Each structure stands twice: as C-alpha cells, then as structure tokens.
Amino acid sequence: MNCPTCGIPVNSTNATCPKCDTPLVNHFVDLLSVVDVAHNGEDWPTAKRKILNAVSKALETGRKGIKIIHGRGESRGHSSVIKKHSSQFLNTLARQFDAKLVKDRNNDGAKILYFNS
C-alpha cells in the first residue's frame, strides 16, 4: 500500500507515513484484507490458520473486513473440503465477532466478513 499523500510504500499498521507524517489510520479502515485459502494446495488446518491470522490482522489494523477466497468447491476433492469448512468457520466467526458474512458479488468462490456491521 502507498501513502495517499507522498505515494511511498507504507505498512498499514503504521499510524503515520514515515516520510511525510500523513495520518494513515483512517486511510486503511475502508479496505478489505484479502486471503486466498484454496489455491496453493492448502489443507483445512492451514486454511483455518490463514483465516484466523487475517481476522487478527484486520482487527488490529482497523480494517472493515476480510475477503476469504475459498474456491467454488467442486462436488468432491480438495476445493470442496476447503469451501465447506471455511464457510462453516466463517459463519462461526461472524457470530463470535457480531460481524456480517456475505457472498462476494464478483466472485462466487469468495465470502466477505464485515466487522462492525
């Protein structure tokens, strides 16, 4: 990500830009964190860990939510397992964090978990 004022690459966890001191906290709030848990051969424990890490980072950095790409889930096999388990787990997280879980309108192989819904 880049600073909205000077354009240098910045970390979204920084409170201000290290070059121009522009406040960054509110700049990244509207962004979604995006995590793909299905297309690198992940097994379910690895995918679950990726989802939990994304939730933690998103909450720490004040993101409005996370987009989890879980794949379309063929009728059987790897992608079916990831889609099934991630969908169930995201429902659990939505209840736990009083968040809103929706299907991604642009990708039927993804869901978005919005915090502060």
Strand partners of residue 36: 69
Residues 104-110: contacts with CB under 8 Å, at least 24 apart: 104/67, 107/69, 108/72, 109/38, 109/69, 109/70, 109/71, 109/72, 109/73, 109/83, 110/67, 110/68, 110/69, 110/70
Is residue 51 classed as helix, strand or coil in its secondary structure?
helix
Of the pLDDT bands very low, low, confident and very high (cuts 50, 70, 90), residue 45 is very high
pLDDT of 90: 97
pLDDT of 28: 62
Higher pLDDT, 13 or 39: 39
Burial of 40 (0-12, 13-18, 19+ CB in 10 A): exposed
In the chain, pLDDT over 90 holds for what percent of residues? Answer: 44
Average pLDDT, integer, range 30-34: 80
